[in-house]
Chain A
Amino acid sequence: MQSANMLLRRIVGSSVLPFAAQHGMKKDLFPLSRTLSLSLCLKQDKSCEPSEKLDLDEWKKVMKSGLQEEVSETVSEPKELSSLAAARETLEMWRLAGRAVPENISEEQLKTFMECPSKSAKKKYLKYLHLKELHKKNDKRKMDEKRERRLQAQDQASKTDETKKSSFICMWSSVMDKAYNWRAAQSMIFGQPLVFDMSYEKEMSVREVTNTVRQIVLSESCNRKSVDPFHIHFCNFKDDSLYHREFIKQYREAWGKLLITVTDQCYTEIFPKEKLIYLTADSPKVMKTFDHNKIYIIGSMVDKTIKTGVSLAQAKRLGLETAALPLEKYLLWSTGAKNLTLDQMMHILLTLKDTADWKKALEFVPKRKYCGFVNKPIKELKKTLDLINTLKLGKGREEVQKQFAKSYPKK
């Protein structure tokens, strides 16, 4: 006991006191040090002399001392938290614990968060917001850097002070816009129709609808910029539907000026049935050539949870012809679903329309989904597929890889 006291005195004398004095809380120092930790100190002391000065519980004092002030500040705050505030508080704690949680969250997002039906749904939503925030920050940083660089460049340019002469006024973008619009207007009169079937709203979640609209916006812009655009139809389009609202969000004022046809009618009412072909990955029929006299229909749907046969069912119901892209025929498929995004479909169809070259068109299939183009007869391909399978199973890996590399040189 005596030795423990001695030790205590020694510790107090050496390290704690100056520290405590620094924080002005001398008086409630002693009750804080625990006997257990003291005994540990004792053991430590015997084992290694140099660390005798170390007070292992010092951090607790620091933590608590910082508090004293804080507590007195926050004491006046009302105890009861509204559910929203409580949720915000929880999020803050998650963020402190190092989980994927956004730093700033709006009231609306917080409400969506609270309405998530399960814990994992909440986690997913937060992760989504977190990533979105990160992207935004990154973009902003890049913008700033770019501006910086531009300013520097301008500075240098002004120093050289040289005026360039050119016969054109620099108005590229608006001139281009006019040219594009001219073409799109032409296509509205003479172009081949391409239908987006907007009847899948009820099959999708809000986020899927948002993604769908984004993809359609991308498709529309690449159509507009093509040499010979399609005449785009949005069929089964209900006013004030989720689609509609998302489109307005994306296009703002431009929504009213788009050179496309939007209608709440079904395509079967506008076009003769025998001319329609519904494009769906589930179709048993494979497209051989692009037919300039047919009207192709694309289902405006993003399905993150794989709903097989939804668009095939739609085509069956209306008694339409269906077709799938000949992905298997031209590509050595590796992973991923065969359904492509809407803008990829648009790129592929435009290329087919212009060139009728499948190889060129299927360049737009994401590279991760296939290993290479089929350049040999199917029989040999089968052998290769077997090779891939053994490769996956890990038998004689290197050897198989060599053979594979020989028969399918990477693009």
Chain B
Amino acid sequence: VQPPEKPLQAEEWNKLREDFQSPEIFEEVMLNSMIRCNSPIDVAKSLLTHLAKRNGDIAYNVLVKYLTLCVQQGQVSEICDVYDIMKVRFKILESGAYNLLIKGLSNSDQWRMALTLLEEVKKIMIPSRACYESCIKAASRHQEMKLAFELYDEMLAKDVVPTLDVLQSFFNFSRGMKDAELQKELFGILLYLRENQIYPHKTFMRSIKLWFESIPGGNWRGHLTNIKDSGQCPVCNHQLEDSNLTEEEYSNLSERIIRDVIHGTDTFRKTSPQEFEAFQTFVEDRLPFDIVIDGLNVSHIKPRKMQCENLFDAVNCLAKENARLLVLGRKHMLMNSSNWKREIMKEMQNKADFFFAENISEDDAFLLYATLRSGKHCKFVTRDFLRDHKACLPDSLTRHLFRKWQRGHQISKKNVFPLFFSQQPAFRYDCVVQTTGDTWHIPYKDVFEEKYSYQVPRKWLCIQQK
């Protein structure tokens, strides 16, 4: 439906309505298209007037649609009017209306009213993050940073996850302020990014940089850079934190993997207790390994080649450096078949240790276990992203640990064969926001859109204090 350009008289609306195929939803459809076309508010008003005259009442959802239009065009006095009407008409409102009201009011000079509305929402439900976002932005826009941070803390306390937008607005509006308390809060946000492994996007990064450089008397300077593979920052020569887990994190992670990934709710789902025990003794007898290989995964690298040849190449390639290898496979690999030649298998077994699991067992779980048991130097080879195993871990903290460990220890690269093992390993440095007090290193995403969860950004912002 095309909304009219001018306000219409009741008769004209009536005619339009009668021409419409399903008159009972005419108003809704019409208002929707008004919202889409951003029609002048008077047109909507004339429709409401027509409705009010005909029915003596206007339904809640129609009011909300009208409110959407008002918010879209920033018609503050209209928003207030609608709020007044709604408040008397209905005991409470639902979240959609509250979101709209708060958003509309926070962008105006009536922004304090948005705060009172937020209080009202809190009485009934946990406010949505959009509500908090509008209020925080409004407060910081008016330089009420303390209030903004109070709201922010409250939001975190209620497990409402803030958007990057909110975080960015803190940096934007604190520019040039000299306030030790405020500085501490903003550092707190950077640490929040660190703890949750969030990477800011380019514009957000710019806001951070500008804020640092604007601190009066702070003498901060920011540079964009790429970190060397060694983990050294080319600008300030500072060595980044390395990717190894601490002893505690390490033991915590291996414990969790055994408990949640291998055993889970039922050991029989991935393996069987006997098999796992056999594997454990096998590994303990031969510890430590340098590289653990997922035999089946590697054998599929080149689909044209025979599977055991693929594996053979991989083992040869890795065995050169005198490393202790463990290859995990399944029992069917031992059966002489077109893909698995017995002689080649024999030859490989001289160069590496092999463990063959039952055909219906999951070998990935064994891969993780063997690598973790061998110690921090041990790496593993597979192209699998191990997402399903990560998903077995119950809390986000352990999942982050897993990702970090995986980044540091997984060797994988698609296609190109000998190049496959030219050690694309594994980051030696940890890819998170980090500080030493007088320097900050902040990884950022080049593009605005989301990257894959297993990727880490390669670009960094280096900030140092002169």
Please give the residue numbers on chain A whose beta carbons come within 8 Å of chain B beta carbons, in ascending order.
Answer: 19, 34, 36-37, 40, 44, 47-48, 50-51, 53-60, 62-64, 66-67, 70-71, 81, 86, 89-90, 93-94, 96-98, 284, 308-310, 312-314, 316-317
Contacts and interface: CB of A to CB of B under 8 A. Distances in A.
Interface in B59-98: 59-61, 64, 77-78, 81, 84-85, 88-94, 96-97
Given A54-B9, A97-B61, A59 B42 contact: no
30 contacts: A40-B41, A47-B6, A51-B7, A51-B46, A54-B46, A55-B49, A56-B7, A56-B42, A58-B49, A58-B52, A59-B51, A60-B81, A60-B85, A62-B52, A62-B53, A62-B58, A63-B58, A63-B89, A64-B85, A67-B85, A67-B89, A86-B124, A90-B94, A93-B60, A93-B90, A93-B93, A96-B59, A97-B61, A97-B96, A317-B272
Contact of A71 (B88, B96, B360): B88
Given A60-B85, A97-B94, A284 B359 contact: yes
Nearest to B86: A63
Given A60-B85, A67-B88, 19 more contacts: A19-B53, A40-B41, A40-B42, A51-B6, A51-B46, A57-B49, A59-B51, A62-B53, A63-B52, A63-B89, A64-B88, A67-B85, A96-B60, A96-B94, A97-B94, A97-B96, A308-B269, A310-B266, A310-B269
B303 interface: no
B7 A44 contact: yes
Classify chain B's interface size: 35 or more
Given A55-B49, A67-B89, A97 B360 contact: no
Contacts of A19: 53
A98 B269 contact: no
A94 B94 contact: yes
A59 B64 contact: no
Interface in B176-221: none
B157 interface: no
Q: Which 6 A-B pairs have the closest CB atoms?
A: A313-B268, A96-B60, A59-B52, A56-B45, A62-B52, A93-B94
A89 B91 contact: yes
Nearest to B270: A309
B125 interface: yes
Given A60-B81, A97-B97, A89 B92 contact: yes
Contacts of B269: 308-310, 312-313
Contacts of A44: 6-7, 42
A313 B84 CA distance: 62
A71 B87 CA distance: 11
B438 interface: no
A34 B77 contact: yes
A134 B88 CA distance: 32
DSSP class of A's interface residues: helix, strand, loop or mixed? helix
A316 B268 contact: yes
B238 to A, nearest CB: 42
Contacts of A59: 45, 48-49, 51-53, 58
Nearest to B61: A98
Contacts of A54: 7, 9, 46, 49
Contact of A284 (B78, B125, B272, B360): B360
Nearest to B123: A86
Given A40-B42, A89-B91, A63 B85 contact: yes
Nearest to A316: B268
Contacts of A51: 6-9, 46
A11 B81 CA distance: 20
Contacts of A89: 91-92
Interface string B252-289: 00000000000000101110100000000000000000
B418 interface: no
A9 to B, nearest CB: 20
A98 B59 CA distance: 10
B437 interface: no
Q: Interface centre among A36, A59, A66, A86, by most B CB within 10 Å? A: A59
